[in-house]
Structure 1
Amino acid sequence: MGATAGAVWGRAEQQDFRSRVRGTLLGVAVGDALGAPVDGMAPEEIRAAHGAEGIVDLAVAYGRRGAVTHLTQLTLFSVDGLIRAQVRRDTGAWHPPTDLHRAYLRWAATQRDWGPDERRKEDGWLAREEWLYARREPPRALLLGLGDATMGTPETPKNPGERGPEAAARSAPFGLLVGWEPQLVAQLAVECAAQTHGHPTARLAAGAYALAVHGLARGESLDAAVQRALALLAARPGHPPVTDALQRALGAVRQGMPTPGRVAELAGAGTAEGLVAAAVYCALVGEDVRHGLRLAVNHGGPAAAAGALTGGLLGALHGETALPPAWLAELEGRPTILELADDFAMEMTQGPALHGPAGASPAWLARYPRA
């Protein structure tokens, strides 16, 4: 697996890319945090707890406002794995799915251990962030898929019957590989999804979501990004459940005022393709980021996943400054998310200067070890 050669980045391009990276990661997290207090609740339960309009602001989950779930945690480890893959490329070792799998195993350790082990320098800095050791009800598929060192692949996937949205919801960072060709972005997302969610539909839904983010990060409209995803997925076996769901999302945009009921119809049973379609719909019809996220999380069902998927799209589309400042102010882990986002943007735009043949930054290699 390879990537296209990186272009020379001007200052304006670097600033735009950094804003979209920050927007994507913060968008995933804030959507996750908005949905967490009502995750799994029926619409009538949400209204009983939060009023006739449902949940419209951050509320308490896991003992605090702005708390995120395993979805944000794994998204951050996706970014960590992508940076490590780029750093390791200098050694001649270039297989990003393996680096992502190692990153996800580092996340799995946070779910077992009491806190970071300072002796494990090869884990890098993210795995030493204590707040990430909170266990936020990760589903069984994640714990089983990452319960041993064997890596699932499309040929031999972990949990081959699992169709949940969790793999798609950690796939936004793949879309930020703007120097990669779209088909390679999709393939990486599909291969990494197989590590925990082996059903073909869940894997292709992850690929579709990464493609949508990829188009947005390159400056396309969301409609154009989804159309590109549809065209690329059409060549893949088993695509109809995913492409049909995305087509329904595009068609629903023209069916009148958006409602939580329409989102629920798209989300269906909460499978990956349904949640990705619902997120696309909410991002398309939302008057702004706040409206799109509120629409996503009030439909009933997997609200955290719906919010995270929608937030990733809206953040990639509009950039960091479009996200609600009051929500960001209370967001758990915001300093870590911003630090990681800026590291990713720096790696993707200036990586050779950090660890290339002409020289290496010891501080960077301590943060993202080659080991």
Structure 2
Amino acid sequence: MTEALSRYDRVLGCLVGGAVGDALGYQVEFDAWRFIEEEFGPGGVTEMRYNRVSDDTQMTLFTVEGLLLAQPGGEVESVREAYLRWLETQREPMPPLASEGLAAQPWLYARRAPGNACISGLAHGARPGVNPNSKGCGTVMRSAPFGLRFSPAEAYRLAEECSMLTHGHPTAGSSAGAFAMITAHLMNGEAPQKAVSETMLHLRRTLDRSETADALQQAYALAGTVPPGPNTCAPLGEGWVAEEALAIAVYCLLGTDEVRDGLVASVSHGGDSDSTGAILGNLYGAAYGHAALPREWASQVEGREVITALAGLLAEA
């Protein structure tokens, strides 16, 4: 068991940590490792030169809002409606008159390379069955809040169902569900190794989850042999698809409890650096609490006041 922390500490740490990892990685998203090394040096992305978050944090916050507004049993529909509100922030330059909640926040109207499947799936009504061949990581990076609110099994179920609002591939659902389940185990005070192991056992129950289970198995093995560092996650892929993004974050989580070093490793690679950083930041925050995050990054990340307010509401719910 990890050190006893309050529920609020873990919730705040998870949401702020995700934003921190997102902002770190967004600085180099789409860049190959050789260009990152030229720009930041061989140590990787060790500076937050810009505090901007991407669609990863935006959608995570709308997931929180959807869960806060949901009636028992109506979580999927409430999250769907929240994602449709997020979609409008990607279409309009500023909040319309009489906007409420997150839709009234001007900073959330910035378009920061949103995922194609997220946009198209929502534009087509956000109903199960859309984009049947898509397994991009857009389902994973927004799913930590399910683990902050529900038991591990329920968090898995809801994250998997909500992934189908934009991505129809089974691996997109199982990866989102696995991420939410690991987060829920961490919220319960379980050590990262146990949280991941329990989730892997859950995944192995059916064959349609095998891609996610295999990716986590690779992450587990790599963490035991190669300490996380700049570009050491390359054997796991680049993070554009769901199981790879989750595997990279889990590799860093299991490989080191030094939060700064892990975050640097999670974004210092060619590929979807903001998503892998955001997922790891969520996991670190749920595991070790807000105080474990590097203070200079956590204090300046974009949207911190709104994130803090949502964390308070979610922790009380």
- Matches of 1:265 and 1:36 in 2, distance apart? 21
Match of 1:77 among 62, 76, 87: 62
Q: Distance in 2 between matches of 1:268 and 1:126?
A: 31
* Aligned with 1:170 (options 142, 163, 181): 142
Matched, 1:253 2:238: no
**Counterpart residue type for residue 81 of structure 1:** G
Contact 2:226–2:232 under 8 Å retained in 1: no
1:1-371 pair list within 5 angstroms: 16-59=6-49, 65-85=50-70, 88-89=71-72, 94-120=73-99, 124-148=100-124, 150-153=125-128, 157-178=129-150, 180=151, 182-268=152-238, 270-347=240-317
Between stretches 278-287 and 305-314, larger displacement belongs to 278-287
Cα deviations across residues 291-326 of structure 1 (Å, max 9, x unaligned)?
000000012111001100111110100001111110
DSSP-derived class of the 1:28 partner: helix
- How many residues get paired? 314
**Misfit runs of 4+, over 4 Å:** none
Check whether the contact 2:17–2:285 (CA below 8 A) recurs between aligned residues.
Answer: yes
Cα distance in structure 2, aligned partners of 1:211 and 1:68 = 24
Which AA in structure 2 matches 1:152?
R
- Match of residue 5 from structure 1: none
The separation in 2 between residues aligned to 1:256 and 1:39, in whole angstroms, is 23
CA distance in 2, matches of 1:131, 1:186: 30
Residues 321-365 of structure 1: per-residue CA shift (max 9 Å, x gap): 111110122211000000111011112xxxxxxxxxxxxxxxxxx
Change (3 A) 1:221 1:269: closer
**What is the distance in 2 between the residues matched to 1:295 and 1:138?**
23
RMSD between aligned alpha carbons? 1.5
Q: Distance in 2 between matches of 1:302 and 1:73?
A: 16
Unaligned 5+ segments in structure 2 are none
Write the letter of the residue equivalent to 2:64.
V
One-letter amino acid matched to 1:184: E
Identical-pair percentage: 39
2:239–2:272 Cα contact (<8 Å) kept: no
| Partner Cα distance (2:56, 2:239) in 1 | 19
| Per-residue Cα deviation, 1:111-133 (whole angstroms, up to 9, x for no partner) | 1112222325xxx4221111111
SS of residue in 2 equivalent to 1:40: coil
Q: Give the CA deviation at 1:40.
A: 1.3
Distance in 2, matches of 1:103 and 1:183, equals 23
TM-score by length of 2: 0.95
Q: Distance in 1 between matches of 2:81 and 2:207?
A: 28
Residue 255 of structure 1: how far off its partner (Å): 1.1
Cα distance in 2 for residues equivalent to 1:259 and 1:56: 11
Query: Structure 1 CA distance, aligned partners of 2:118 and 2:104?
Result: 21
Instruction: Write the letter of the residue equivalent to 1:27.
Output: G
Question: 1:147 and 1:326 mapped to 2: Cα distance?
Answer: 38
Q: Higher Cα Rg: structure 1 or 2?
A: 1
The SS at the match of 2:232 is helix
Q: Which piece of structure 1 moves more, 196-205 or 250-259?
A: 250-259
Shift of 1:52: 2.2
TM (norm. structure 1) is 0.81
Q: Structure 2: which amino acid aligns with 1:133?
A: Y
Q: Using the TM superposition, give the Cα deviation of residue 268 of structure 1 relative to its aligned residue in structure 2, in angstroms.
A: 4.8
**Structure 1 residues 306 and 195: CA distance shift in structure 2, 3 A:** same
Structure 2 vs 1, CA of residues 237 and 96 (structure 1 numbering), >3 Å: closer, same or farther? Answer: farther
